[in-house]
């Protein structure tokens, strides 16, 4: 039996290595290797250039511009995604009649294509056929024109928030419903108000999840391509310029600077992995500290 | 004490009703842009443009008939279905055995393998675009459905592995022992014992992969070069990026694109797997 198990294990490990190697290992090696070359004639010939592609990438004014454009896109998007999701999860964490359907409605946008979300928002806010400008004018608010280059960034933020909110909501809700009801009962008996209950029970239980979610959303939103690209399709380019993902795409497929696009990709992957690694290490330390606090009775809730 | 208790009960009930009303109001506000586009898909073009804020009085399928007549729509619909189906099959074929390996066996390098698999999570599509494009070009798979399926599998594999491991860990190893004593091989044990024991979770995973592939835009946009391989999201983006916006067609196409997702969501809710569907995926 042991021999059979060993054989099965070896076969599956081999399969895993082949699949992961083909899917991620080969492309990553190609990125790392390719970033050291300059390509001519549509990649037909190449020349070793050492780290020149990296130097060219970091010195390119478009890099700093796209870096700040990504920052301007990512920070508000993630704050809104996590903020809205947290409030919605707090409101719907209890099992009340009708809340099942409500949760379903809140997570529905997750299942829609980004293109549908972009078209829906553009249609909804269109000054001629969309109801949003009319609704705003009914309550006496002048409707902003969401079609020009100045509106591209706000529209990108709205769309990114809209499509990512349900994912964040479900993860936070899953964590909130796991908090033992007895903890809330104890604080209620002690006469704590809702804020005190939140600070003493809810936040300590969900803070790590919120931290992890913020990081995950930053890493995903930071290099998001489809939202800026589709919003640009309808608007002129954003006055903030291209985001990093669009910059890489244009470098590779429009300007045909393959080596530079590889260098940009590898730099960004490395940065993402470094941030992720740092988070894993830090969160482990937090967890251990939390356990120590708990066991020493210093954080009784 | 009884009076105080009933007062608390009344207060709590009022609080719950207020939360429910507020929650439904917010949820409706969130869904309004999508509802508006779906309702408009069934309105005549003249009403969408001429009387956009009136309550819909006439219902028509003309927009869908016109959509069907757009060159390439039928092709795109079939392409989307084929890509989503093959992506689901290929992802399951890779994720089920590897997830089984990580969840069941203790071996040197297990943790490393798990970490490497999950690190795929941190590859943004924009970063993988160029190496995938060149890799596919090497095998002549640019502008092919197989190329799109390959990129979709790569996109779905990391979270599928994470979920499969979780799913299989919830299935007790003891139920396999009888099958092992019976002399069942690895594939048979996975397919006839482990997967049926976790059929709802596995179904949820497959639905998730199907939905993600069905709605995916970037890789399909990158790999597809024309009508032959265009998927529905790319067709919608092409119509949307055109000179003039034909809202009636855009609404109808958006509705067609959203329909399978809504059906899957309804079915997922019916079998109570939706929380699992969204729990392990990236947005």
Nearest chain A residue to B52 by CA distance is: A129
pLDDT tier at B269, thresholds 50, 70, 90? low
Tell whether A142 lies on the interface with B, counting CB pairs under 8 A.
no
Please tell me which of the candidates B16, B101, B269 has its beta carbon nearest to residue A9.
B101
Q: What does pLDDT average to over chain B?
A: 86
User: Could B113 and A13 be called an inter-chain contact, meaning their C-beta atoms sit closer than 8 Å?
Assistant: yes
Q: Which of A66, A266, A217 is nearest to B123 (CA)?
A: A266
User: Could A124 and B52 be called an inter-chain contact, meaning their C-beta atoms sit closer than 8 Å?
Assistant: no
- Provide the pairing of β-strand A37-40 with A45-48: antiparallel
pLDDT tier at A296, thresholds 50, 70, 90? very low
**Looking at residue A294, what is its pLDDT?**
41
Q: Are A95 and A182 in contact (CB under 8 A)?
A: no
Question: Nearest CA of chain A to the CA of B75: how many Å?
Answer: 19
Measured between beta carbons, the chain B residues lying within 8 angstroms of A226 are 217-218
Residue B115 phi, psi (nearest 5): -65, -45
CA atoms of A7 and A13, how far apart (whole Å): 10
CA atoms of B230 and B220, how far apart (whole Å): 7
CA angle B35, B40, B42 (to 5 degrees): 110
User: Could B101 and A12 be called an inter-chain contact, meaning their C-beta atoms sit closer than 8 Å?
Assistant: yes
Tell whether B44 lies on the interface with A, counting CB pairs under 8 A.
no
DSSP label at residue A23: I
Q: Which of A196, A210, A265 is nearest to A86 (CA)?
A: A210
Task: Report the predicted TM-score, pTM, of the whole model to 2 decimal places.
Answer: 0.87
Nearest chain B residue to A280 by CA distance is: B115
**Looking at residue A299, what is its pLDDT?**
40
Measured between beta carbons, the chain B residues lying within 8 angstroms of A43 are 134
Most confident of A99-113, A189-203, B68-82: B68-82
ipTM field: 0.88
Element (H, E) at B83: helix B73-104
Measured between beta carbons, the chain A residues lying within 8 angstroms of B84 are none
> What average pLDDT score do residues A140-145 get?
76
Nearest chain A residue to B90 by CA distance is: A19
The string of pLDDT tens digits covering residues B91-107 is 999 999 999 998 888 87
Number of inter-chain CB pairs under 8 A, A vs B: 267
- For residue A242, pLDDT beyond 90: no
CA atoms of A243 and A229, how far apart (whole Å): 9
Give start and end residues of each alpha helix (H) in chain A.
2-20, 26-34, 52-59, 61-92, 99-107, 114-124, 131-138, 149-176, 181-189, 194-197, 203-222, 226-234, 244-249, 258-296
Nearest chain B residue to A94 by CA distance is: B16
CA atoms of B201 and B175, how far apart (whole Å): 17
Tell whether B166 lies on the interface with A, counting CB pairs under 8 A.
no
Question: Nearest CA of chain A to the CA of B141: how many Å?
Answer: 15
B-facing residues of A in 50-109 (CB < 8 A) are 88, 91-92, 94, 96, 98-100, 102, 104-109
The number of residues in chain A equals 301
User: Could A265 and B211 be called an inter-chain contact, meaning their C-beta atoms sit closer than 8 Å?
Assistant: no
CA atoms of A145 and B265, how far apart (whole Å): 34
CA atoms of B88 and B210, how far apart (whole Å): 5
Measured between beta carbons, the chain B residues lying within 8 angstroms of A229 are 218
Percent of chain B predicted with pLDDT > 70: 91
DSSP label at residue A190: T
Measured between beta carbons, the chain B residues lying within 8 angstroms of A219 are 122, 124
Measured between beta carbons, the chain B residues lying within 8 angstroms of A108 are 31, 34, 262, 265
User: Could B126 and A245 be called an inter-chain contact, meaning their C-beta atoms sit closer than 8 Å?
Assistant: yes
Q: Which of A156, A22, A178, A149 is nearest to A76 (CA)?
A: A156
- The tokens describing A48, both together, are 């070793």
The string of pLDDT tens digits covering residues B237-262 is 998 876 678 899 999 999 999 988 78
Residue indicated by tokens 């219902």: B59
> What average pLDDT score do residues A8-12 get?
88
Tell whether A26 lies on the interface with B, counting CB pairs under 8 A.
yes
Percent of chain A predicted with pLDDT > 70: 91
Residue-wise over B246-281: b if at least 16 C-beta within 10 A, else e? bbbbbbbbbbbbbebbeebbeebbeeebbbbbbbbb
Nearest chain A residue to B209 by CA distance is: A111
Q: Which of A76, A295, A299, A276 is nearest to A203 (CA)?
A: A299
Q: Are A223 and A271 in contact (CB under 8 A)?
A: no
pLDDT tier at A272, thresholds 50, 70, 90? confident
User: Could A104 and B30 be called an inter-chain contact, meaning their C-beta atoms sit closer than 8 Å?
Assistant: no
Measured between beta carbons, the chain A residues lying within 8 angstroms of B48 are 129
Distance separating the N- and C-terminal Cα atoms of chain B: 50
User: Could A225 and B124 be called an inter-chain contact, meaning their C-beta atoms sit closer than 8 Å?
Assistant: yes
* Close Cβ partners of A98 (under 8 Å, ≥ 6 residues apart): B20, B24
> What average pLDDT score do residues B61-81 get?
94
Q: How far is CA B187 from the centre of its chain?
A: 27
- For residue B276, pLDDT beyond 70: no
Please tell me which of the candidates B117, B133, B283 has its beta carbon nearest to residue A220.
B283
């Amino acid at each position: 039996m042991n021999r059979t198990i060993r054989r099965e294990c070896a076969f599956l490990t081999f399969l895993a290595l082949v699949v992961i190697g083909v899917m991620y290992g080969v492309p990553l090696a190609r990125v790392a290797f390719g970033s050291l070359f300059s390509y001519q004639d549509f990649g037909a010939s190449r020349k070793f250039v050492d780290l020149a592609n990296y130097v060219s990438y970091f010195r390119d004014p478009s890099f700093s511009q796209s870096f700040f454009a990504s920052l301007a896109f990512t920070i508000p998007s993630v704050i809104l995604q996590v903020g809205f999701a947290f409030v919605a999860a707090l409101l719907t964490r209890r099992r009340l009649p009708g809340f099942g359907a409500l949760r379903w409605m809140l997570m529905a946008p997750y299942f829609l294509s980004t293109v549908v979300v972009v078209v829906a928002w553009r249609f909804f806010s269109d000054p001629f056929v969309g109801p949003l400008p009319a609704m705003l004018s009914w309550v006496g608010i002048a409707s902003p024109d969401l079609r020009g280059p100045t509106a591209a960034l706000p529209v990108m933020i709205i769309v990114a928030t809209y499509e990512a909110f349900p994912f964040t909501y479900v993860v936070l809700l899953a964590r909130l419903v796991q908090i033992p009801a007895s903890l809330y009962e104890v604080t209620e008996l002690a006469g704590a108000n809702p804020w005190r209950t939140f600070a003493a029970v809810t936040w300590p239980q969900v803070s790590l999840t919120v931290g992890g979610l913020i990081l995950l959303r930053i890493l995903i939103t930071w290099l998001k391509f489809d939202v800026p690209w589709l919003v640009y399709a309808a608007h002129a380019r954003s006055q903030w310029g291209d985001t990093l993902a669009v910059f890489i795409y244009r470098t590779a497929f429009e300007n045909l600077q393959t080596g530079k696009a590889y260098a940009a990709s590898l730099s960004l992957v490395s940065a993402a992995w470094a941030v992720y690694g740092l988070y894993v290490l830090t969160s482990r330390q937090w967890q251990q500290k939390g356990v120590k606090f708990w066991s020493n009775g210093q954080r009784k809730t | 004490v009884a009076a105080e208790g009933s007062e608390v009960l009344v207060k709590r009930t009022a609080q719950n009703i207020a939360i429910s009303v507020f929650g439904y109001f917010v949820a409706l506000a969130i869904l309004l842009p999508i509802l508006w586009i779906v309702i408009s898909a069934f309105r005549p073009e003249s009403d969408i443009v001429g009387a956009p804020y009136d309550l819909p009085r006439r219902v028509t399928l003309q927009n869908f008939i016109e959509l069907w007549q757009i060159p390439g729509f039928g092709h795109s619909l079939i392409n989307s279905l084929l890509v989503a189906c093959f992506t689901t099959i290929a992802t399951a074929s890779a994720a089920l055995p590897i997830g089984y390996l990580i969840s069941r066996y203790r071996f040197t390098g297990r943790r490393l393998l798990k970490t490497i698999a999950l690190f795929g999570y941190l590859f943004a599509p924009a970063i993988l675009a160029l190496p995938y494009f060149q890799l596919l070009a090497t095998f002549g798979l640019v502008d092919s459905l197989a190329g799109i399926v390959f990129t979709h599998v790569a996109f779905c594999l990391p979270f599928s592995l994470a979920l499969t491991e979780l799913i299989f860990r919830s299935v007790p190893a003891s139920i396999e022992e009888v099958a092992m004593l019976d002399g069942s091989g690895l594939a048979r044990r996975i397919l006839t014992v482990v997967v049926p024991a976790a059929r709802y979770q596995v179904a949820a995973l497959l639905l998730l992969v199907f939905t993600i592939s069905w709605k995916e835009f970037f890789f399909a946009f990158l790999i597809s070069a024309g009508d032959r391989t265009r998927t529905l999201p790319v067709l919608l983006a092409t119509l949307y990026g055109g000179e003039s916006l034909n809202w009636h067609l855009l609404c109808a196409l958006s509705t067609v694109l959203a329909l399978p997702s809504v059906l899957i969501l309804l079915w997922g809710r019916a079998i109570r797997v939706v929380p699992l569907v969204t729990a392990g995926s990236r947005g």
